Amino acid sequence: MKETTLVIMAAGIGSRFGGGIKQLEPVGPGGEIIMDYSIYDALQAGFNKIVFIIRKDLEKDFREVIGNRIEKIAHVEYAFQELDDLPEGFTKPEDRKKPWGTGQAVLSIRGMVDGPFLVINADDYYGKEGFKKIHDYMVNHMKEDSEVYDLCMGGFMLVNTLSENGGVTRGVCEVGDDGYLRRVTETFEIQRSGDGLKAVDEQGNPVDLDINCHVSMNMWGLPASFLKELEKGFPEFLAGIKEGDIKSEYLLPRIVDRLVEEGKAKVRVLETPDKWFGVTYKEDKQAVVDSLRALIAGGAYPEKLYE
């Protein structure tokens, strides 16, 4: 059996705990946070290792909030995403505060995985189906040493990923009849408007969307060899940043989209009917609590996880 790793991107969760950090607020009846449910679902699906990507300054508090608890039930390792972790010849701009993005986050696990791994966000609830389908694809279908990168992703329906409290950012996907990704486009401020939706592109121009289209929620199944691609591409990204730009990010969806367009990657879209929820806005928390209570009442989860 291949070793399969769940990689959780948690470096952007904030510089302190307790004082209203939305991603770490208890939402389960036993004080669980959203990450707990993703880990529970991943372990049930067959994943056998967890890597948390955090910042070094968060390590002590992070271990106390969740890490020490998870170490009792799974093999856990930590990777660190830092602003000054840059290739030779590059230095962090003094006024840069924003992390370098999900591509750099995943690059921080180099040397820690030698098999396929699944990348997710720390603050999103994905549901059980995506973990099962991606694990099955990784173990039974993914080609590790193919000349074309063999990737997969959880394909959510846009209608299942909206917030009632404001706009969200999603990777809007164009999927071929063969079930493979044709294109993924970062789209912003997606929210309901009357009977339809409104959204904008990166330049702020209005975008028309089908409420039933597929979207990426940063749930990517990747072979270990993909890390070489990220390592090669990061200095190219940094070299292309214009002087004074302190916000550009090295983002997984854009990296994948480019590789697909160039014929260097194929991405199997594994459709999941599960409803996403998360705490994009402070007002979302009660909806998350209510959704989890309903799932527990329906038997999807025990009252208290890991007991």
**pLDDT score, position 299:** 96
> What residues have CB less than 8 Å from 193, skipping those under 6 apart?
none
**pLDDT score, position 15:** 44
**Mean pLDDT in consecutive groups of 10 residues from the start of the chain, 307 residues:** 90 55 80 94 97 91 90 96 93 88 96 96 94 97 90 96 90 96 95 90 93 94 96 96 90 95 97 89 86 96 87
Domains, the chain, in order of start with CATH, read 5-297 (3.90.550.10)
**pLDDT score, position 14:** 55
**pLDDT score, position 280:** 76
**pLDDT score, position 13:** 67
Q: How many CB atoms lie within 10 A of CB 25?
A: 18
**pLDDT score, position 16:** 41
Rounded CA-CA distance 302/30 in Å is 10
Chain mean position to CA 307 = 27
